[in-house]
Amino acid sequence: MSLLESLKMAKKISTLVVFLIFLAAPLPAQTTGLPNDTPASGTTAIPSPQSTAIPFIDLTIRNPESGREVAFSLQLLLLLTVLSLAPSIIILMTSFLRISITLDFIKRALSLQQVPPTQVLMGISLFLTIFIMWPTFDSIYNNSIKPLSDGEISVEEAYRGAETPMRLFMYRQMSGHPENIRLFMSMRGLDKPDTLADVPTYILIPSFILNELTVAFKIGILLYIPFIVIDMVVASALMSMGMIMLPPVMISMPFKLILFVLVDGWGLLTSQLINSFV
């Protein structure tokens, strides 16, 4: 029997099986009498179906009637803009940048590919950032968010109250290395600042980002040095034994992990990172 004939026979058999199942299915019984709990004297009233209330949402757009409404619309637009930029603010204006880059460096120095996952490293960076930045966040809440929600200050005063703690935090990290501030001030043609008040915020933020990148790369270099020594020793041993085709990383990675665990690497790295911001 050919393949085409077999397919036709299987189609006929499946059609027959579906037809027999349809015939064997019991039909729903029709009730000829009244239920036990229905009184004998019926009524001609049609019961109204029970409907679920669905809320009605109406979004209308109209012209503002006063300057207060215009100001409120601009404030709402500014708030939405800040919320959309919140991830970038958290990454670039806090300690998150330095911590995340350092943890990625230690992962690469240990020759680890999938462990720990990137999501875990980002989560560790986030919670360490909250731990380090908590005094700054608490000052922002007490001086800006809470008075604004209570109606004690205006939006402009709330912005100034939130800006000051962040500026102090960023400036403290660059207190010993103000060259980045001088670089951006000179590129804008501004005079040499004498105090923090003379540095605009749009100058302070990129200066802080460059400083964090520089510090993170310096930490990465120091982290790589002991593990490079282990790689060189293992590679020399394999070359002397004639094992040229064996990748040195496969042999050196266990020794790296042993060294990292023996010196309590995670605790030492975390404590030094936190102390670098204090």
CB 224 within 8 A of CB 109: yes
Domain-embedded: residue 170:
yes
pLDDT digits (tens, 9 = 90+) for 226-267: 888 888 888 888 888 877 777 777 788 888 888 888 888 888
Nearest-CA neighbor of 99 among 173, 167, 165? 173
Give me the number of domains the chain comprises: 1
Q: Which of 59-73, 76-90, 123-137, 217-231 has the lowest mean pLDDT?
A: 59-73
Banded pLDDT at 217 (limits 50, 70, 90)? very high
Q: How far apart are CA 149 and CA 277, in angstroms?
A: 31
Is the pLDDT reported for residue 3 higher than 60?
Answer: no
Banded pLDDT at 151 (limits 50, 70, 90)? confident
Domain-embedded: residue 81:
no
Token pair for 189: 């043609």
User: pLDDT at position 78, please?
Assistant: 76
**What percent of the chain has a predicted confidence (pLDDT) above 70?**
73
pLDDT digits (tens, 9 = 90+) for 92-143: 888 899 999 999 999 888 888 788 888 898 999 999 999 998 998 888 888 8
Domain-embedded: residue 172:
yes
Helix orientation angle between 96-109 and 201-240, rounded to the nearest 10 degrees: 10
Phi and psi, residue 163, nearest 5°:
-75, -35
Domain-embedded: residue 1:
no
User: pLDDT at position 57, please?
Assistant: 60
Q: How far apart are CA 205 and CA 171, in angstroms?
A: 9
Domain-embedded: residue 72:
no
Banded pLDDT at 38 (limits 50, 70, 90)? very low
Banded pLDDT at 61 (limits 50, 70, 90)? low
User: pLDDT at position 203, please?
Assistant: 87
Domain-embedded: residue 148:
yes
Q: How far apart are CA 167 and CA 173, in angstroms?
A: 10
Domain-embedded: residue 258:
no
User: pLDDT at position 19, please?
Assistant: 53
Is the pLDDT reported for residue 68 higher than 60?
Answer: yes
Q: Which of 13-27, 71-85, 132-146, 165-179 has the lowest mean pLDDT?
A: 13-27
> Does the global pTM surpass 0.75?
no
Domain-embedded: residue 33:
no
Give the chain's length.
Answer: 278
Domain that holds residue 149: 88-222+266-277
Sign of CA dihedral 137, 141, 145, 147: negative
